[in-house]
Structure 1
Amino acid sequence: MTSNFRKYKRADYLGKKLYSEEQKQKRKHKCNVCIKSFYEKSTLRNHIKSHSNEKPFTCDTCNNSFKTKQSLVKHIRIHTNEKPFKCDICFISFCHRHSLTVHKLTHTYEKPYKCDFCSKAFSMKCALVVHTRTHTNEKPYKCEFCDSSFTVKTCLDKHKRIHTKERPFSCKFCIKTFTAHSNLIVHTRTHTKEKPYVCDFCSKSFSVKASLTVHTRIHMKRKL
């Protein structure tokens, strides 16, 4: 019995080793700069650009440049407001596949990634990583123009527009442009007259949440 088990374990080990060697041979396209290898030559070409500062793909709308065509295509969706990735549960659409993946986890309510410092848990590992930085005060994303640093890349990108004067978010009703998408949303409501924030006390509605907060305090003071 023991002899057969050893033979099985040996065969299993050799099988896994052979499979591993086959996979390595399939990844025949190797990067000359680092140790990474790839199945496809096109994937290697895109990877090599990560070692270079060359950005040959330029946006016609805002002149922002990118290392890969795929990055440019993703960026252009900011201007066109194209959202090709749709949730099959609630039909909300997203610009990027990753955003859809994160969103769909809100329907499952699974939160397997737990914080070591507090009781919070998250559905995505990347969300846990970002949250952990609130405890460690780590800010790995540094601005190349000044000494500012940030916990997440999106905050760095937003900050850099102060230096570059880039305003990629355009209003479809007028000629105004904005550095942040949230500012565009608030501005657009001046055209559409949309007021999504409703007071629980008097049903008065507001275009921005901050205005509702200030208004609600009036009711709270009256109650006192």
Structure 2
Amino acid sequence: MTRTTYSQFVCDHCDEGFRSAAALTRHCNMINLPLTHSCTKCMSQFHNHILLVTHKERCLRPAPSQHVCHICGKHLTTAFNLKNHLVRHAGTRRHKCDQCSASFYTAAELCSHQKTHTTERPYICRYNCGKTFRFCSARSMHERVHMDASKRIYQCEYCPKSYVTPSECRTHQKYHNLTRDHGCEICHISFKTAKHYRSHLKSNAHKTLEERAKAAAYPNSRGKNRSPN
């Protein structure tokens, strides 16, 4: 499947192109990209330069040109966004899936949902590892594994390791905070988790030292049951 490229709204991380700033923002949120660009007027933050530029064009407009929800007072950036916002207040999910009972407020939400009903995985890893994905955001998340450490934006606070997702980084950092409560008295090694300790007990190195410790403790045990000549 050939991907359509849109020249204006492009993700800095994976070079994927999108039809609108909103679509690019959703993509960046899904793959957990950091907010690195700030608006000097209102201090809002954005994932990349093109999103910041798009925001500034709207931010500099006078207040009357803003689109405000008459129900909750929320300010929207475009008439299209206001229209989609009002649909949610109405509570009407007009866009129904023809394969299950799910229904959605917008056509875009329905389109995204319908991909879960197909086995088609059109997004192929561009590092040729063979993996395929239903969504471009899932592919972008995966591809960080192949990139150098500078692209793995979640940095461990305690060591140089970095990770693709925040959950992976949090899981890793827990090990830095654990005490080594699981000690092997034979090998004089301690471990942070019971899992690692049990794995050690099954290792050949531990079993060898264990046999030597037994032999040293009972030096005559081997010939104890031997019959005299």
Give the number of the structure with larger relative contact order, counting CA–CA contacts within 8 Å between residues 6 or more apart: 2
User: Which entry has the higher C-alpha Rg, 1 or 2?
Assistant: 2
TM-score (norm 1): 0.48
TM-score (norm 2): 0.47
Structure with the larger helix share: 1
